Amino acid sequence: MNPNIASALLNLLNPTNLLFIIIGVGAGIIVGALPGLTATMAIALLVPFTFAMSPIKGLVLLGGIYTGAIYGGSFSAILINTPGTPSAIATTFDGYALTKKGEAYKAIVTATISSVIGGLIGVLFLIFLSPPLSRASLKFGPPEFFWLTIFGLTIIATLASKSILKGLIGGAFGLLISTIGISPIEGDVRFTFNILSLQDGVGLIPALIGFFCIPEILNMIGRREKHYNVIPYRKQKHVVANVTLKLIRRPILLIRSAIIGTFIGIIPGAGGNIAGMVSYNEAVRASKFPKKFGKGIIEGVAASEASNNAEVAGSLIPLLTLGIPGAPPAAVLLGALLLQGMRPGAELFTVHGSVTYTFIFSLILSNLLLLPMGIWSGKGISKLITHIPVPFLAPFILFLTIIGSYSINNNMFDVYVMLFFGVLSFIGKRIEFDPGPIVLGLILGKICEQGLVQAILMGRAHHSILMVFFARPISVILIILTVVSAAWPFIRDRIGKKVKKI
Amino acid sequence: MIKKDVLASLALLGISAIFWIQSRNFTKYGALFPKTVTIILGFLSFLLLINSIVKILKNKSKESKLEKIQDVKSIIISIILIVAWVFFINILGFLTSSIIFFIIMYSLLVKKGIKLKKVVINIITIILSIVVFFLFFSKVLQVPFPTGILI
C-alpha cells in the first residue's frame, strides 16, 4: 500500500480529527439548511480560522462543512420550498410536493440516503481519478497552463451566467484585478494607485469573503419579513427501511445521478445547482412514468440529491490536481490550501500525500455521518429554518467576515478590500453579474499571466511562438475544448430550435 | 435593468481606460497581460453598451427575474453602518465598536411592536455573546484583533 494512504487512514483514527469532521458536518448541515447561508459562504468565513490549525484539522473541518452544507440545503428545499443552498434547487420539485402530501419525513430520508450514496460514489471517483490526473499535470508547461485557464474561464462564462457576455466581462474583470500588485515576470508595480498595501496584490481570501458573504447578508436583511408556511414534520415508522429498499431496487437511478454529479463537478464553474438540474432531467427522461415527476415521488428527490453530493467530490478533482476549482465552494477551499502552503498538482499527492489522502478519506466519513446526523436532527432543523433570527444572525456573520479578513495578515486594509468587493458584488448581482466568473478570473489570473509570458519567452527561444502555443498535444486538446465550450450555447440554441420545429 | 446595463458598461469602459493609461508606463512583459485584458474588457463592455442601447431603442424592456428586494432602505442603512463600523474599529477598538454596531443593527432589524422588556433582554444577550465570542476568538483560537483607544 502507498505509505501516504496508510498514514492517512491512521490520521483518520485520531480522535481530534474525528471530532473536527463531526463538528464540520453538523455545522455544515445547519448552515446549508438555513436559506440565505450557502456552503461557499460558510467555507469562506471559516478559512481564515483554519490557518491557525494544522493542515489536516483545517481541511477535514472544511470538507465536513462542504459535504454537510450541500446535503443540508435539501431540508429547506423539502420543508419550505426554498433551496437552502443553490445546489438543492432541483430537490424542491419533488421534495416540497412530498411535504404537501404529508410525507416530509419520507422526502428527508430519501434525500439523506441518496446524498450518502451519491457522495460516496463521488469520493470513489476522486480517489481513482485524481492521482493519474495529477501525474498528467506534470506534463503541463506554461502554454498548457495558459490554455487551461482560458478554458476554465470560457466554460464558467458560458455555464454559470445568465448572460454569456456578462459572464465573460466578469471573467475579464477578475483577470484585471489579479494584475494589481507586483508583476510576476519583470517586477513592475502595477495599478496600486499609490496604496502601499496593494503592492502584494488583492488578498484572495478577503476578496472571496467579500464576494460570497456580503451580498448574501445584505439580501437576508432585505427580505427579512418573509414568513414561511410550515407543514408539520413528523417521524413515521418503517420509512427508513421502505425508502432504502425502494432505492436499492433502482440502483441505476442513483449511480447515473452520481456520475452526472461527479462530471459536472469536474467542469470548472458548473456547480451543484447544474448537477442537480441535469440529473433530475435525465431521471425524468429515463423514467417509465415521467408525468409523476414534480408531483411528489422520491425518485425526483433522489436524482437531485445523489447528484449534488457527488458534485462535492467531483469539484475537488480539478482543484487538487490542476488548481482549477470545479465549483464556487472549491474556489474557497483553494484559498485554504494556499494558506497552508500546499500548491495543487502532483506535489499534493506526493510531498503532502498524507494530508491530501486524509482529506479525501475524511470525505467518506463525512458522507457516512450524514446518515445518522441527518435523520436524527431533522426535527430540530425544521424548527430552526422557520425561525431565523435575522437581527442576531446578520450582524454576527458580518462580525465573522471582519475578523476573518483581518486575521490573515493582521491588517485592516484587508477588511477594506473585503468590504469594497462585497458591496461591489452585491451591486453586480443585482444587474446579473455573477460573482463566480469574477472570482475564477481573480484566482486564475496569475497562472494565466505566467503561462502567457513564459510561453512567449519559450517561443522566442525556439524561434517560433506559434508552435509553442498551438502545436503541443495537450494544448491542442485544451484549445478544442475551449472552442467547443464557447460555441456550446449557440449549438444548444440551434438544436433547441430544430427540436421545436419537429 | 437595461438602463443599468448602460451605466455598468460605461463604468467598465472607464475602468478599462484607467487601467490602459496606467499600463503604458510598464515594461514590455509587465504590460503584456494587463494590456491584453484591458482591451478584451473594453471590447466586451463596448458590446454590452451597444447591446443594451439597441434593446432600449427597440423598446424591449425585459423584466428582471431576480427576487425583488423588499427593504431597500434597510440595505442602504446597513451598508452605511458597516462602513462606519469598520471606520470606528481603528478608533474605538474592535470590541467596543462591535457592541455599538450590534445594538444599532439589532434595533434596525428587529420587528416593530416588540415589547421593551424583551428588547432590553435581547440587547443584554447580544453584549454578553459578543464578549464571549471575542474572548473565545482572542484567547482560545488566538486570533489577533484590531485595537483602538479602547479594546
Give tens-digit pLDDT for A307-345: 999 999 999 999 999 988 888 899 999 989 988 889 898
Last residue of a domain, one of B34, B57, B80: B57
- Cβ contact (<8 Å) for A416 and B86? yes
Mutation pick from A45, A54, A186 vs chain B, by most beta carbons of B within 10 Å, is A186
Residue B66 lies in a domain: no
pLDDT for position A210: 93
Residues B50 and B76 in one domain: no
CB A141 within 8 A of CB A478: no
- Cβ contact (<8 Å) for A188 and B27? yes
Residues B129 and B78 in one domain: yes
Residues B47 and B85 in one domain: no
B82 touching chain A per CB within 8 A: yes
Please check the confidence at residue A227 and state whether its pLDDT lies above 70. Answer: no
Read off φ and ψ for residue A182, nearest 5 degrees. Answer: -80, 135
pLDDT for position B64: 54
| pTM for the structure as a whole | 0.89
Which grid cell is A387?
425561525
- The mean pLDDT of chain B is 86
pLDDT for position A229: 64
Number of domains in chain A: 1
Task: Please identify among residues 219-248 of chain A the ones whose CB lies closer than 8 Å to any CB of chain B.
Answer: 219, 221-226
Please check the confidence at residue A280 and state whether its pLDDT lies above 60. Answer: yes
Residue B30: give the domain boundaries: 2-57
DSSP A326-395: SSHHHHHHHHHHHHTT--SSHHHHTTTHHHHHHHHHHHHHHHHHHHHHHHHHHHHHHHHHHT--HHHHHH
- Cβ contact (<8 Å) for A49 and B70? no
Residue A502 lies in a domain: no
Q: Which of A49, A222, A456 sits opposite B141 (nearest CB)?
A: A49
Residue B64 lies in a domain: no
Please check the confidence at residue A73 and state whether its pLDDT lies above 70. Answer: yes
B106 touching chain A per CB within 8 A: yes
Q: What is the ipTM of this complex?
A: 0.92
Number of domains in chain B: 2
Give the C-alpha separation, B49 to B2, whole Å. 9
Residue B125 lies in a domain: yes
pLDDT category at A501 given cuts 50, 70, 90 is low
Give pLDDT tens digits for A463-474: 888 889 999 999
Cβ count near B139 (within 10 Å)? 9
Residues B36 and B95 in one domain: no
Residue A150 lies in a domain: yes
Residue A472 lies in a domain: yes
Task: Please identify among residues 127-146 of chain B the ones whose CB lies closer than 8 Å to any CB of chain A.
Answer: 130, 133, 137, 141-146
Please check the confidence at residue A77 and state whether its pLDDT lies above 80. Answer: yes
Q: Out of A251-265, B44-58, B108-122, which region has the weakest mean confidence (pLDDT)?
A: B108-122
Residue A237 lies in a domain: yes
Last residue of a domain, one of B33, B57, B81: B57
Residue A111 lies in a domain: yes
Helix A328-339 to helix A55-80 angle (10° resolution) is 160
Nearest residue to A158 (alpha-carbon basis) of A80, A44, A274: A274
To the nearest whole angstrom, how far is the Cα of A39 from the nearest Cα of chain B? Answer: 20
pLDDT for position A122: 96
Residue A291 lies in a domain: yes
Residues B16 and B46 in one domain: yes
pLDDT for position A24: 95
pLDDT for position A457: 92
CB A50 within 8 A of CB A237: no
pLDDT for position A407: 84
Residues B131 and B107 in one domain: yes
Q: Which range is most confident: A46-50, A126-130, A240-244?
A: A126-130
For residue B9, what is the enclosing H or E element? Answer: helix B2-23
Q: Which of A169, A423, A452 sits opposite B79 (nearest CB)?
A: A423
Residue B108 lies in a domain: yes
Helix (H, G, I), strand (E, B) or coil at B30: helix
CB A407 within 8 A of CB A48: yes
Residue B135 lies in a domain: yes
pLDDT for position A496: 67
Q: Which of A173, A186, A391 sits opposite B41 (nearest CB)?
A: A173
Give pLDDT tens digits for A147-160: 999 998 888 777 76
Residue B62 lies in a domain: no
Helix (H, G, I), strand (E, B) or coil at A98: helix
Residue A100: give the domain boundaries: 3-497
pLDDT for position A228: 65
Residues B124 and B83 in one domain: yes
To the nearest whole angstrom, how far is the Cα of A425 from the nearest Cα of chain B? Answer: 13
Residue B65 lies in a domain: no
Percentage above 70 pLDDT, chain A: 96
Residues B135 and B82 in one domain: yes
Residue A296 lies in a domain: yes
Burial class (CB in 10 A: 0-12, 13-18, 19+), A169: buried
Q: Which residues contact A219 (CB under 8 A, 6 or more apart)?
A: A36, A426, B67, B69
- The mean pLDDT of chain A is 89
When pLDDT is averaged across residues A246-261 and rounded to a whole number, the result is 92
pLDDT category at A162 given cuts 50, 70, 90 is confident
Q: How many CB pairs under 8 A join A and B?
A: 158
To the nearest whole angstrom, how far is the Cα of A185 from the nearest Cα of chain B? Answer: 6
- Dihedral sign for Cα A262, A267, A269, A274, please: negative
Residues B46 and B83 in one domain: no
Q: Which of A179, A223, A402 sits opposite B70 (nearest CB)?
A: A223
Give pLDDT tens digits for A394-444: 888 898 899 889 888 888 999 999 999 999 999 998 888 988 889 989 989
Residue B150 lies in a domain: no
Task: Please identify among residues 38-57 of chain B the ones whose CB lies closer than 8 Å to any CB of chain A.
Answer: 38, 40-41, 44-45, 47-48, 51
